[in-house]
């Protein structure tokens, strides 16, 4: 067996991480645009059957938002598997989402409606992801089936709120990144107590999982454990962000007991599950790193 020079490994893994990062661009940009969490900061803790939200979307924009959210996770999975199909399938996925974005944009233009969102950020992000992906050389390692199972489950748990939004939303309208809100907009980034709600609703936590999965496959054990434990801690904080302040603000133990069930509903259990899966990945999965090739 002959070891690949470290410089080549570093460059290859930088391309892998950069591909997923570039593909995550539209999802990250969504976090700085008006969306459901900006209009109602309690959306993360509401029951869809009891409290309708005055937010709406069209099916087309909703599917586009879902495709943009899934793309980074799909690319991360393909890069973890690292087979001869990684680059072709990844390129098809990137081009398909880009084509979908352009078709939706052209549909709005030809219908004579106001284009609320420029397609150029998506074109730049997906173009960069496509070019970096073409430069990726699949690493000569066994398929990381166990890694992919863990990270797929983690991404699925982190995506629960974004997948649940169609049940919460009512009506039909055309809007920014698939969503349109009626009312006076506000930004949750101005309210640190609710920062994780917007991140959860907009899919930033799914992007985080995809990026961590891509990076963790090449780190040394100690650095990998630190990264995964830090990610798990962040997910736990996000899960308890609504619950802990509610308990602290209750004046007496009697109030805590009377509203114990209600306050428990403020915990975002899907993020606790995601955190547990990240910890499991840290200790139960030992990734096979691309540090050797057949002689």
Reported as a single tens digit per residue, the pLDDT across 177-204 is 566 555 566 667 777 767 888 899 899 9
pLDDT on residue 156: 94
Q: Which residue has the tokens 């109030």?
A: 255
pLDDT on residue 289: 56
pLDDT on residue 8: 43
Instruction: Looking at mean pLDDT, say which of 62-66, 78-82, 99-103, 148-152 comes out highest.
Output: 99-103
Please write the tens of the pLDDT for every residue from 64-86. Answer: 889 999 999 999 999 988 888 89
| 5 — pLDDT class (breaks 50, 70, 90) | very low
Antiparallel, parallel or unpaired: β 55-56 and 2-3 = unpaired
Q: Is the pLDDT of residue 258 over 80?
A: no
pLDDT on residue 4: 41
Which of 250, 266, 263 shows the shortest CA–CA distance to 196? 266
d(C-alpha 100, C-alpha 53), whole Å:
27
pLDDT on residue 182: 58
How many other CB atoms sit within 10 Å of the CB of residue 62? 16
| 261 — pLDDT class (breaks 50, 70, 90) | low
Q: Is the pLDDT of residue 7 over 50?
A: no
Residue range 139-152: average pLDDT? 75
Report if pTM > 0.75: yes
Query: Which of residues 72 and 13 earns the better pLDDT score?
Result: 72
Query: Which of residues 177 and 264 earns the better pLDDT score?
Result: 264
d(C-alpha 43, C-alpha 89), whole Å:
36
Query: Are 101 and 119 contacting, i.e. CB atoms less than 8 angstroms apart?
Result: yes
Q: Is the pLDDT of residue 154 over 90?
A: yes
pLDDT on residue 1: 37
Q: What is the 3-state secondary structure (H, E, C) of the chain?
A: CEECCHHHHHHHHHHHHHHHHHHCHHHHHHCCCCCHHHHCCCHHHCCCCCCCCCEECCHHHHHHHHHHHHHHHHHHHHHHHCCCCHHHHHHHHHHHHHHHHHHHHHHHHHCCCCCCCCCHHHHHHHHHHHHHHHHCCCCCCCCCHHHHHHHHHHHHHHCHHHHHHHHHCCCCCCCECCEEECCCCCCHHHCHHHHHHHHHHHCHHHHHHHHHHHHHCCCCHHHHHHHHHHHHHHHHHHHHCCHHHHHHHCCCHHHHHHCHHHHHCCCCHHHHHHHHHHHHHHHHCCCCCCCEECC
| Share above pLDDT 90 across residues of the chain, in percent, rounded to a whole number | 35
pLDDT on residue 262: 64
Query: Which of residues 258 and 112 earns the better pLDDT score?
Result: 112
Out of 42-46, 90-94, 198-202, 278-282, which region has the weakest mean confidence (pLDDT)?
42-46
């Amino acid at each position: 067996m002959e070891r690949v020079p470290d410089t080549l490994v570093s460059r290859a893994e930088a391309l892998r991480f950069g591909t997923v990062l570039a593909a995550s661009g539209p999802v990250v940009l969504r976090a700085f645009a008006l969306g459901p969490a900006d209009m109602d900061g309690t959306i993360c803790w509401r029951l869809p059957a009891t409290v309708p939200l005055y937010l709406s979307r069209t099916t087309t924009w909703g599917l586009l938002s879902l495709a943009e959210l899934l793309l980074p996770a799909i690319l991360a999975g393909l890069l973890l598997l690292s087979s001869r199909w990684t680059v072709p399938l990844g390129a098809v996925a990137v081009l398909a989402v880009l084509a979908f974005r352009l078709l939706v944009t052209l549909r709005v233009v030809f219908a004579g409606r106001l284009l609320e969102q420029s397609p150029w950020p998506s074109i730049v992000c997906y173009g960069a992801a496509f070019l970096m992906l073409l430069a990726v050389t699949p690493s000569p390692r066994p398929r990381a089936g166990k890694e992919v199972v863990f990270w797929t489950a983690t991404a699925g748990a982190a995506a629960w709120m974004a997948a649940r939004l169609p049940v919460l939303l009512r009506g039909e309208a055309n809007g920014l990144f698939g969503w349109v809100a009626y009312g006076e907009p506000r930004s949750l980034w101005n309210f640190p107590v609710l920062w994780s709600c917007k991140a959860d609703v907009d899919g930033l936590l799914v992007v985080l999982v995809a990026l961590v999965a891509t990076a963790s496959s090449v780190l040394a054990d100690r650095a990998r454990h630190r990264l995964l434990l830090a990610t798990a801690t962040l997910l736990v904080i996000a899960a308890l962000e609504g619950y802990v302040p509610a308990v602290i603000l209750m004046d007496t133990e009697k109030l805590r007991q009377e509203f114990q069930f209600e306050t428990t509903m403020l915990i975002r259990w899907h993020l606790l599950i995601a955190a547990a899966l990240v910890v499991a990945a840290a200790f139960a999965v030992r990734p096979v790193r691309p540090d050797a090739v057949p002689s």
